[in-house]
Amino acid sequence: MNTNLRVDAARLWETIIETAKIGGTEKGGIKRLTLTDLDAQVRHWLIDKCTAAGCDVSYDDMGNIFARRPGKDNSLPPIAIGSHLDTQPTGGKFDGIIGVLAGLEVLRSLNDAGIETNAPIELIDWTNEEGARFAPAMLSSGVFAGVFSKDYAYEREDREGLRFGDELKRIGFVGAEACGAHKLAAHFELHIEQGPILEDEGKSIGIVTGVQGMRWYGVTVTGMDCHAGTTPMRMRQDALVAASKMIQVVQAIALAHGPDAVSTVGLIEARPNSRNVIPGEVFFSIDFRHPNDEVVAKMEKEVKDAFEKILLGTGISFTFECIWDSPAVHFDSDCIAAVERATTDLGLSARRIVSGAGHDSAYIAKVAPTTMIFVPCEKGVSHNEAESAEPAHIAAGADVLLQAVLATDARLAQKHPA
């Protein structure tokens, strides 16, 4: 183990800035939704760079890209570094992206140092982590882990009715390998924290021990659309007014289960969406999260009961669908120890932390030893074009990633010497 080995921080930062131009926005962020032409462009960019770094590149039938750097014993499953390159509609330059680009930098740094690992090292770009275009989130890593079927994933539609499977084929990324057939020895993911804790405490590294439980719901409120000028107030079945009361309950329930519970209504659509028509139907999303799955389940029951009371006697009805359920995840102790040891050896300030956001690693942990590494982001802002992270913090995270991968390779080599 060469604990003095570091990544090329300047090259890593230049790579981040270079890819930020693909889908770059006027406000300095990125709009690069899954399976769009911009997604295809950054995928081809990644393949070109990985091929230049001496990797064998392939992709499976969910479009997950695998760039493998050979090891001494290529019969062994690879140690993976994985994250995503898709973004939110108003995404930043770092969310997920630094995990892929730091992985590329690890491969390049190993090449620069002339290091041959025992097992192959593999960089993975997971398809549709964000779920911004095709819900649910972490769709392809979910198929990889057996949480979703490929058929289910292929049938997901965006808000314009376009199917995931059709769009994947359109951009040319339906691979021959069945998603999930690709075995992994371990999986590491570098990510910005997307929260304010590390910055607030002055820590350089978050050693991620797990991911909190989360559920997404779709709620449709049905009243009656009528003329805005001729329908008396007492006779209205205004779905938007009812939805506004329901949304307040969503917030109140999270506050009642504080400080760890959070709830969000991030999507709302009123129909027919005309200024002189009383809204007859409203759709809105709910996002519930808590480290304890039992609390998430309790929040779900409470919100459904509250909705029924709000609508009692109004003539307005609702449907409530759970479209995604991601239970709390606990990461692998050996992988966590490798990250923790790396932070100590590198002299970096660190703390253990549970992720409040969902990540592909939450699903990959079901099929391979997994953990994550967090670095601070300014004021904890993420899913926002103003998202910002310091080059020094990203480089430090990449150094930890490099050392954790090498430590894991050394540990596994004792079980499977070349």
Check pLDDT > 80 for residue 174.
yes
Q: Are strands 186-192 and 79-83 parallel, antiparallel or unpaired?
A: parallel
In Å, how far from its chain's centre is CA 402?
21
pLDDT at res. 374: 98
Ramachandran angles phi, psi of 216, nearest 5°: -110, 140
Full DSSP string of 253-308? HHHHTTTT-EEE---EEEES--TTB---EEEEEEEEEESSHHHHHHHHHHHHHHHH
Residue 4 lies in a domain: no
Per residue in 4-27, pLDDT (tens digit) is 899 999 999 999 999 999 999 999
Cβ–Cβ under 8 Å, residues 167 and 303:
no
Positive or negative CA dihedral for 274, 275, 278, 281? positive
Q: How far is CA 263 from CA 136, 208, 285, in A?
A: 17, 22, 10
Check pLDDT > 80 for residue 3.
no
Check pLDDT > 90 for residue 2.
no
230 and 138 both lie in a single domain = no
Full DSSP string of 159-197? TT--BHHHHHHHTT---SBPTT-S--SEEEEEEE-SSSH
Final residue belonging to a domain, choices 326, 346, 364: 326
345 and 232 both lie in a single domain = no
116 and 226 both lie in a single domain = no
pLDDT at res. 249: 98
190 and 277 both lie in a single domain = no
State whether residue 393 is helix, strand or coil.
Answer: helix
What does pTM read for this prediction?
0.84
pLDDT at res. 38: 98
% of the chain residues with pLDDT over 90: 97
What is the mean pLDDT of the segment spanning 350-369?
Answer: 95
Residue 3 lies in a domain: no
What is the mean pLDDT of the segment spanning 171-200?
Answer: 97
Cβ–Cβ under 8 Å, residues 187 and 369:
yes
Residue 1 lies in a domain: no
Check pLDDT > 70 for residue 1.
no
Residue 2 lies in a domain: no
Distance CA 51, CA 270 (A): 48
335 and 366 both lie in a single domain = yes
pLDDT at res. 418: 58
Residue 32 lies in a domain: yes
CATH for 188: 3.40.630.10
Domain, as residue range, for 333? 9-212+328-415
Per residue in 99-139, pLDDT (tens digit) is 999 999 999 999 999 999 999 999 999 999 999 999 999 99
pLDDT at res. 358: 86
What is the mean pLDDT of the segment spanning 343-353?
Answer: 97
Check pLDDT > 80 for residue 416.
no
Average pLDDT of every residue of the chain: 96
pLDDT at res. 326: 87
Positive or negative CA dihedral for 134, 137, 142, 147? negative
Residue 49 lies in a domain: yes
106 and 201 both lie in a single domain = yes
In Å, how far from its chain's centre is CA 213?
14
pLDDT at res. 388: 97
159 and 264 both lie in a single domain = no
208 and 248 both lie in a single domain = no
pLDDT at res. 324: 87
Gap between the terminal Cα atoms of the chain: 16
Amino acid identity of residue 5, one-letter, is: L
52 and 169 both lie in a single domain = yes
pLDDT at res. 4: 84
**What's the total number of domains in the chain?**
2
CATH for 245: 3.30.70.360
Per residue in 294-328, pLDDT (tens digit) is 999 999 999 999 999 999 999 999 999 999 898 99
299 and 371 both lie in a single domain = no
275 Cβ partners below 8 Å, 6+ apart? 228
Final residue belonging to a domain, choices 293, 326, 359: 326
**Cα Rg for the chain, rounded, in angstroms?**
23
